[in-house]
Structure 1
Amino acid sequence: MIRTLFVTAAFVFFGSAVISQDNPPPAAVVAVEVTTRNLAEVSDFNGRLDANRRVALVARVSGVIENIGFVPGAIVEQDQPLFVIESDLYDAAMREAEGALRAAQAQRDLARLERDRQSELVLREAGAQARLDQAEAALATVEADVLRLEAALDRARTNLSYTVIKAPFSGRIGNSAVDEGALVGPESGALATLVQLDPIHAEFPVPTALLRTFLERVERGEVSREAAVRLTLANGTVYDAQGDIDFVDSRVNSGTDSVMLRARFANPEGRLLDGELVRVTLTTDTPEGELAIPAEAVQRDIQGAFVLVVGEGEVAEQRRITVLRNAQGFAVIGAGLSEGERVITEGVNKVRVGAVVDAAAPEG
């Protein structure tokens, strides 16, 4: 009796296993509908950021640094004093030039009086022409001295102004190459570097053929130079502002058959840095209403591209397709699919063509 029950139980267990293996549950997959999307045609290039303005600050007169008026790395305003060089000698030179000029001006005024007096005497035939000629020559000499001393005063004033090195524009100042108390002069080189980061430019080379196509589309109004460029930073972050193409070089690089383009980006927070290497994405076309599916749904074999479609009765079908291009993570479909059909994007390796699947929409 016990043996009979054991045999019966074994038959039930193994029989159930055979039935379960013959009728496995449908494969769980994720399926996405074929939709119409507006996918811009883009091309990626390596580029480098270039500050809008950059200047090396140098001393134009010699002297000791009395004060440094900035914190390295800070934002400075236009005309903000950055370095102050001792000015006592240059102030004294200016006052000396002012005194010499005043003396020369007094001599000029006296020479004019003498010239006028001699001229009056000659008109009255009471004086000699030679005395008048000498008076005119003396006046010309002192007038020349006045011009020379005016120039000397201008030079002294200019040298005095050079003792205060100001920011020529607003921007970010680099590290100071000298400390307070250092003796500097024109031969000292750059004391610091000032860059203007807002706006900032991205320069990148574009193949000539692609540039021709892009410019022709711009002329036809199919694409714009404005907001045509995006940046991807070194850590993979996509910069939130788009850039405008503001410069196309007039010369082709014969070695690479490419042309240098430049895009202008707003950078009010200074996130983009001068000289930074970036990935540049140029929008070369903006077509409308194209059938598209996620790129991961496309499979390939020796015959070409195909997808697995969830057909009638939730049965998986293989469908040959034509892929026109890939853009923004999607494959643009030229033939083989219709809007509203569902293609399998996840679980493809579990699917057998002709089998029923358990298709679910993607989360989110």
Structure 2
Amino acid sequence: MTKNKYIKPVAFPAATILVLVVSFFVMSAMSSMKTGMDVKVKVNSVTVLPLEKVDHSIVFSGYGEIRPGEETSLSSRVSGNVEFWSEHFVRGKTVRKGEVLYKLEDSRYQAELKNAEANLLEMKATLDREIGLGKVARSELKRVQSTVENSLFLREAEIKSAYAAVSSAEARLILAKKNLEYTVGRAPFDALVIDKNIGTGQFLAEGSNIATLYNINNVEVEIPIARFDNPFLLDELAGISVEVRLADSNRVGEGYLSRKIKIVDSRTRTHMVVAKLEGLFDKRSKNAFLRFGDFINVKFAGRTIKNVYKVPESLLSNGKLWVVKGGLLEQRDVTVIRNESGVAIISSGLEEADKLVRSVPDYPYEGMPVAVIPSDTINLL
């Protein structure tokens, strides 16, 4: 009896206080829900970009190696010992068209030329004799007043044979002159010497490889174009200006497109367009800083696409963009037709009344209320 007497007065007030506290909070919450005065919805602030349709000129940018448009393996046309070669005829130097590169010992070919000239004189003398004998025969026929003209009597066969012998002698003379000319090797065009395979006193057989030459006035760069970019190329490429630069240099060169190679690369499945460069070896040229073998960036203009939107590529997520319309967030599926230097070119999915969200809130959702920060308060830096 004594123990129960002390417990009841203590337990009853504690339970009562707990019930009262819980009831107070429940009634306060219900009161707040009824009045709506204490419930607030968080509104996120966003920055936006205006949208405007524009006409955009496609710019192609690709990389390629500077290569010669014409490369020649110089070979000997006649045999003989190397008597001389030019000091300019060394690897890495340039030579001009017609410049003497080397000379072979030519006494044999001088003798052949003399023999050909003498043979021609002899054949011409034989022809003159046969023509004269034919005239004598014809006079004899007139003297005897014969009406029968015998071709054998008039020596027509001998005259024809003499004419043929003269023609043959003339051909041998032409060949002898050419062989003598071929003992002197000349540059076929303005060229860069890539390698040289002869030395003084060396015997060259006919057809021996002498050197490899690059034509310095015919310089090309092949630029790969992806198949999906082909529709953006202009129909007529010849003459379109290009801008070229080295990857590690700010110097800018120039050139022009010449053609499209109508062959698909078997490894990359790309097409190739060819650009021509001039003046690589002219100190006054904008391209004087370029060399064969340089790997360069080439830029040139393509088609102009009308009525498109240009937005930062970084704002795209899985082909979708967030916009603000009527103070609420909306997500749009857009059609990106091309990406250029961090800019996405969009043909559909947006409206000019939309405002493009630059700073998307955490955990965005369709219909999220947002407040647009005025552009004059945005620090673009």
> What TM-score range do you get, normalising by the shorter chain?
0.5 to 0.7
1:200 to 216, 219, 223: 219
Contact 2:191/2:215, CA 8 A, preserved across alignment: yes
> How many Å apart are 1:60 and its aligned residue?
0.4
Q: Percent identity?
A: 23
Ranked by relative contact order (alpha carbons within 8 Å, sequence separation 6 or more), the top structure is 1
- The answer to whether the aligner puts 1:247 opposite 2:267 as a matched pair is no
Contact 1:39/1:328, CA 8 A, preserved across alignment: no
> How many Å apart are 1:56 and its aligned residue?
1.3
Partner Cα separation in structure 1 for residue 108 and residue 98 of structure 2? 23
Partner Cα separation in structure 1 for residue 191 and residue 150 of structure 2? 66
TM-align CA RMSD:
4.5
* Map 1:123-134 → 2, pairs under 5 A: 123-125=142-144, 133=153
Please list every run of 5 or more consecutive structure 2 residues that lacks an aligned counterpart in the other structure: 1-46, 282-287, 324-328, 360-369
Contact 1:230/1:242, CA 8 A, preserved across alignment: yes
> How many Å apart are 1:78 and its aligned residue?
1.4
> How many Å apart are 1:141 and its aligned residue?
2.6
Hey, what does 1:146 align to over in structure 2? Answer: 166
Hey, what does 1:349 align to over in structure 2? Answer: none
Contact 2:130/2:162, CA 8 A, preserved across alignment: yes
For 2:302, give the aligned amino acid: T
Alpha-carbon distance change, 130 to 240 in structure 1, aligned in 2, over 3 angstroms: closer
Hey, what does 1:214 align to over in structure 2? Answer: 232
Partner Cα separation in structure 2 for residue 164 and residue 89 of structure 1? 14
DSSP-derived class of the 1:105 partner: helix
> How many Å apart are 1:48 and its aligned residue?
3.9
2:189 to 146, 165, 169: 169
> How many Å apart are 1:208 and its aligned residue?
3.9
Alpha-carbon distance change, 144 to 323 in structure 1, aligned in 2, over 3 angstroms: closer
1:74 to 93, 113, 125: 93
How many pairs does the alignment contain?
306
Contact 1:60/1:162, CA 8 A, preserved across alignment: yes
2:156 to 111, 116, 136: 136
Alpha-carbon distance change, 320 to 259 in structure 1, aligned in 2, over 3 angstroms: same
- The answer to whether the aligner puts 1:106 opposite 2:118 as a matched pair is no
DSSP-derived class of the 2:69 partner: strand
- The answer to whether the aligner puts 1:116 opposite 2:135 as a matched pair is yes
DSSP-derived class of the 2:70 partner: strand
Q: TM-score, normalised by structure 2?
A: 0.63
- The answer to whether the aligner puts 1:85 opposite 2:104 as a matched pair is yes
Alpha-carbon distance change, 360 to 205 in structure 1, aligned in 2, over 3 angstroms: closer
- The answer to whether the aligner puts 1:259 opposite 2:271 as a matched pair is yes
Q: TM-score, normalised by structure 1?
A: 0.65
Partner Cα separation in structure 2 for residue 144 and residue 106 of structure 1? 13
DSSP-derived class of the 1:78 partner: coil
Partner Cα separation in structure 1 for residue 225 and residue 192 of structure 2? 30
Partner Cα separation in structure 2 for residue 100 and residue 303 of structure 1? 86
Please list every run of 5 or more consecutive structure 1 residues that lacks an aligned counterpart in the other structure: 1-30, 308-317, 345-352
Hey, what does 2:4 align to over in structure 1? Answer: none
Alpha-carbon distance change, 290 to 255 in structure 1, aligned in 2, over 3 angstroms: closer
